[in-house]
A and B are shown apart, each in its own frame.
Chain A
């Protein structure tokens, strides 16, 4: 066998091995050594943008009768053939060999024991308090509204700061740096040609206010808006949003409840009550939406979406009952602090703490997380691996066929690594001291959640991307806000020794610098997270407590951060014991 063939076989086996592990973990689907009538396509699915129609046409040319099953949010999918002979014929022709037209990759296939995954029936349910009016305006009115906006015009109300979508404001300008509106500085008044909409709102029972602020958003395919709740203290209830141009899926979240809502063109979405105050909404930046068709899930390519959002500026304080998300009642989210203050916060609440706890940390954090170990075991011989924020070096241990190096900010932890004989450098993950395009694999486990601002979290990812070689892979783990997923408690919650009654009311730490006053809540360990940014106590053996800063990630947030880097592809996203995890590949 020549080396090219050996290499090819090894590549196929690696792809299959990765998929075997993924399928068991995600859906409890086992692979089969012997051919079966079921095949998994290991490296293409709804999340990689594969369209059901395209796939079906491709299979049909080889084997006429089959059924395709595409689980939403996954990078793989399944084919159910009529017999083992059919699936074997397909496997032999396609596996690592044939490319699908317009979709320039080889398919890697795997026999599986069965497909127990049933395609869920997702109804278009709405978050409580919201309403969706279909065909709220006519196609003529839609065209008029779309044509009324001149995106090229530099009139001071176009927001050039937002790289991921284009925005215009009427009435008042929304300030994205602090999520507020300055009512002393009105911008261009609302044009007369939009007045018919106010009348339409009145006819539908929303005439209580004259809406005095309009935000017009333009989304191109691949663009989106981060999940957010409109600032309570700034806008009244309800908020009205008109969708034009192209249908998009909007994602709603509240605690562990999640709703995907398909917004048809010319529809009006009304957010009121719980939907306005407690549910966050956003649009995931992608080129296709997963939608339900008569024969299962498929993808729908996105076009250009224009939305008109109508709001009424609030004059009094917000009186809602949703205290968690109300800025009139607490300050618990770090909205905008400058880099130097962010660095100071991290110095006090991350770097200093790890120096203090390094020995105790080393005694308690020795076990590798199984899914990280499995990831390392699949790495090719001769690879270079960097563990960013390697702590006591628990992933630098073992696997003599790859060269592993680590870096960490803590001297205490670096010393522990050195004593264990690992290659360690003291370095900042925001400024990695390594050559660009060098490493085959980068691990970054439980590190990025210690950065206090989204800019800094993004910078950490950008450094990982920089040092990766083309085709190199990174595995990132961050702590998840959701610790209670699909009704299964994470290990972090399971270890709780307290009953609900004993829990104290949460404390707060007031962080004061000359420029800024900030209040950060202190999290009660082994309970669910109620905030995104907080201090988490570390208990010393002597009972003394020190506080570490954490930003816990909501579902989709890590992918959103990664989506800012066009040179990477997200190969896998999963939830592992209270953490959100992504596998990235540099392209």
Chain B
């Protein structure tokens, strides 16, 4: 699971959960895989992501130094920042771990890179 996917996931589907966002991350294994950078695409993605949520995720993974805590104003042209952002969004893959509902603590396991967001019948 890439951090851009994490940026979109919620546990709002659980009964009684109001926001369910962002999901906390517990990580066991992760993998860095190189991905070609498409700048045009990346610049269009930036306004769509929840930057503080991405930064917190990076912090949890121990990469707080690899990304500024706030999005720079010149993000469209700041090449150094764009490189870092590309790395954070697309190159880090969480392989095993858990996602946690921020309100109930319900664990959603990540196995072999696949988050399991399926619910039991009594949870909906």
Whether B11 lies near A423 (C-beta < 8 A) is no
A428 contact set on B, CB distance < 8 A = 13, 117-119
Does A28 reach chain B (CB closer than 8 Å)?
no
Given known A340-B121, A382-B41, contact A434–B9 (CB-CB < 8 A): yes
Which among A381, A415, A434 is the interface contact of B8 at CB below 8 angstroms?
A: A434
User: In the bound complex, how far is the Cα of B73 from the Cα of A268, in angstroms?
Assistant: 70
Which among B8, B36, B38 is the interface contact of A435 at CB below 8 angstroms?
A: B8
Bitwise, B34-56 to A at CB < 8 A (1) or not (0) is 00101011011100100000000
Does A384 reach chain B (CB closer than 8 Å)?
yes
Residue total for B at the interface (Cβ-Cβ under 8 A): 29
User: In the bound complex, how far is the Cα of B5 from the Cα of A434, in angstroms?
Assistant: 9
In whole Å, how far is B43's beta carbon from the nearest beta carbon of chain A?
Answer: 8
Whether A384 lies near B48 (C-beta < 8 A) is yes
Whether A432 lies near B114 (C-beta < 8 A) is no
User: In the bound complex, how far is the Cα of B12 from the Cα of A575, in angstroms?
Assistant: 35
Q: How many A-B residue pairs have CB under 8 A?
A: 79
Whether B117 lies near A418 (C-beta < 8 A) is no
In whole Å, how far is B122's beta carbon from the nearest beta carbon of chain A?
Answer: 11
Does B102 reach chain A (CB closer than 8 Å)?
no
Whether A431 lies near B115 (C-beta < 8 A) is no
Does A425 reach chain B (CB closer than 8 Å)?
yes
User: In the bound complex, how far is the Cα of B120 from the Cα of A431, in angstroms?
Assistant: 11
User: In the bound complex, how far is the Cα of B117 from the Cα of A434, in angstroms?
Assistant: 10
Whether A423 lies near B1 (C-beta < 8 A) is yes
Whether A381 lies near B10 (C-beta < 8 A) is no
A427 contact set on B, CB distance < 8 A = 117-118
Given known A384-B48, A431-B13, contact A425–B5 (CB-CB < 8 A): yes
Whether B10 lies near A401 (C-beta < 8 A) is no
User: In the bound complex, how far is the Cα of B93 from the Cα of A465, in angstroms?
Assistant: 29
Given known A382-B44, A384-B48, A423-B2, contact A433–B10 (CB-CB < 8 A): yes
In whole Å, how far is B4's beta carbon from the nearest beta carbon of chain A?
Answer: 6
Whether A432 lies near B121 (C-beta < 8 A) is no
In whole Å, how far is B116's beta carbon from the nearest beta carbon of chain A?
Answer: 4
B8 contact set on A, CB distance < 8 A = 384, 405, 434-435, 438
Does A343 reach chain B (CB closer than 8 Å)?
yes
A-side residues, CB < 8 A to B, are 340, 343, 381-382, 384, 400-403, 405, 407, 409, 411, 414-415, 418, 423-428, 431-436, 438
Pairs A–B under 8 Å by Cβ, sample size 13? A382-B40, A401-B41, A414-B114, A418-B112, A424-B113, A425-B1, A425-B5, A427-B118, A433-B11, A433-B13, A434-B8, A434-B9, A435-B8
Sample of 20 further A-B pairs with CB below 8 A, known A382-B44, A384-B48, A432-B13: A381-B40, A382-B40, A401-B41, A409-B118, A418-B112, A423-B2, A423-B5, A424-B113, A425-B1, A425-B5, A425-B114, A425-B116, A426-B114, A427-B117, A431-B13, A431-B119, A434-B10, A435-B9, A435-B10, A435-B12
